[in-house]
Amino acid sequence: MKNSYFLSFIICLLLCLFTSEIAKSGIETNPQAVAALGKCLKSKNAKMFGAKKCSHCNHNKEMFLGNFDKYVQFIDCRESANGKAQCKAANVGPFPKWTFNNGQEITRPTSLEALMDVADCRDQVLAEIGGEAMNSYQTSSNSGNYGTSEDLAKCLVAKDVYFYGSPVCSHCSHGKEAFGGNFEKYLYKNFKDCAGSAKKECVQLNTFPFPTWYQPSTGKKLARPETLELIASTFGCNGVQPQVIKQPEINTNNTFDVIEVKPQDSPYEPLQQQESLPMSNKAVFDFKNETAKCLIGKNLSLYIKAGDKYSVEQLNELGEVINSIKLIDCSKAENTSQCKDITTFPTWKTSKGSLFYGFFDIENLYNTNCQ
């Protein structure tokens, strides 16, 4: 009898340690939870649209601990005519885009937690983890910064506050990440894509720079807040603990006088040096040059303004690709007539006269203009 009690005690102790580890590590580092999520995603006919050279796509694959292909159907938007056709039919913009048979979709998820909620897999995953482990995981998911940001996310939804930005905006990504997975769980329906479906609405409301939080009922706007506490106080969701929102690094030493665009017979001279580059940088280098070649002849114009940090951020992203784009500095007197209708920087103008606002990374430029 004593031995059976002792054995029961040991089993309970091991279970406690096991569930504690789940609570500490979260789903990304818990193989059992990752496998459970994978099974659920497979049952939901999960598809990820992207490309082999897409860094965001590769990061999403790595989160599945080597078993991505076992659970998810990957559609390459660049390799074959069939893949391109599927991506066009799915209205794929920035990579990767996920779709599920429940009708939901998500672009560039930053965690498995986000995928789990959008695909409606939370209950199935937690049930497979097991009773006590499920309770521990739920408790862990609702504590600390996650708990306070969850309260804020719920409050913003209840108060009809919307997040205007772009899937490729680095400031937007940091703003979402500050919610610790709760943005995708609660606020994804309140996200307005100013580079896509909500383009006209963003222009009408002047929701720039990205991201801008906006509450239609009060007309309140908040652009690029630095803390969750500031968001909470602005929209009447007080009680949230302050949490700093990480801002992307910007090379403020770069000026438009330094980046002088001159006509060149061949803007692809750096290709001759690519063999000396490390392989990890070579793929990025090749992709930038591929984009530069594609944009020649597209008559794409970029309106920037000297001293504007968002313009500087865009130029830092473009690098040598800038030689394929018509650059117009609206701080110069000779460009006054061309810039008379431009109030937001950076602004892009296509050969057809269509205007796009905000930051575009190289990948999105390629997807928008070269596919």
Question: Residue 68 has what pLDDT?
Answer: 94
pLDDT at 188 over 60: yes
Torsion of CA 167, 41, 116, 226, to 10 degrees: -20
Nearest to 239 by CA among 141, 147, 157: 147
pLDDT tens track for 59-114: 889 889 889 999 999 999 988 899 999 998 998 877 889 999 988 888 888 778 78
Question: Residue 29 has what pLDDT?
Answer: 66
What share of the chain in percent tops pLDDT 90?
Answer: 19
Residue 52's contacts (CB-CB under 8 Å, 6 or more residues apart) are: 76, 78, 79
pTM of the model: 0.43
Choose between 8 and 167: higher pLDDT. 167
* 66 CB-contact burial (10 Å; exposed 0-12 / middle 13-18 / buried 19+): exposed
Binning pLDDT at 50, 70 and 90, where does residue 39 land?
very high
What is the DSSP code (8-state) at residue 240? P
pLDDT at 144 over 50: no
Token couple for 291: 């984009």
In the chain, list all ranges with CATH 3.40.30.10: 11-134, 146-234, 269-369
pLDDT at 193 over 80: yes
Q: 11-134, what's its fold?
A: Glutaredoxin (3.40.30)
Least confident range from 167-176, 192-201, 261-270, 297-306: namely 261-270
Give the range with max mean pLDDT: 115-119, 134-138, 292-296, 316-320: 115-119
Element (H, E) at 215: strand 212-215
Question: Residue 71 has what pLDDT?
Answer: 95
**What is residue 180's three-state secondary structure?**
coil
Give the range with max mean pLDDT: 120-124, 247-251, 272-276: 120-124
Q: What is the 3-state secondary structure (H, E, C) of 293-345?
A: HHHCCCCCEEEECCCCHHHHHHHHHHHHHHHHCEEEECCCHHHCCCCCCCCCC
Question: Residue 239 has what pLDDT?
Answer: 64
pLDDT at 138 over 80: no
Phi/psi at 2 (5° precision):
-60, -40
**Residues 247 and 171 sit within 8 Å (Cβ to Cβ):** yes
- Distance between the two ends of the chain, CA-based, in angstroms? 72
Question: Residue 275 has what pLDDT?
Answer: 32
- How far is Cα 269 from Cα 289, in angstroms, rounded to an integer? 10
Binning pLDDT at 50, 70 and 90, where does residue 243 land?
low
Phi/psi at 68 (5° precision):
-55, -50
Binning pLDDT at 50, 70 and 90, where does residue 42 land?
very high
pLDDT tens track for 289-337: 778 888 877 889 999 998 888 888 888 778 778 878 899 999 999 999 9
Residue 164's contacts (CB-CB under 8 Å, 6 or more residues apart) are: 192, 194, 198, 202, 205, 207, 210, 211, 212, 213, 214
Q: Domain 269-369, CATH 3.40.30.10 — does that match?
A: yes
pLDDT at 288 over 70: yes
Phi/psi at 289 (5° precision):
-70, -35
- How far is Cα 265 from Cα 297, in angstroms, rounded to an integer? 14
Q: 146-234, what's its fold?
A: Glutaredoxin (3.40.30)
Torsion of CA 285, 289, 291, 295, to 10 degrees: 150
- How far is Cα 292 from Cα 14, in angstroms, rounded to an integer? 58
**Residues 244 and 226 sit within 8 Å (Cβ to Cβ):** yes
Which region, left, alpha or beta, applies to residue 329 given φ > 0 means left and ψ of -120 to 50 means alpha?
beta
Please give the average per-residue pLDDT across 266-282, as a whole number.
31
Which residues partner with 165 through β-bridges? 193
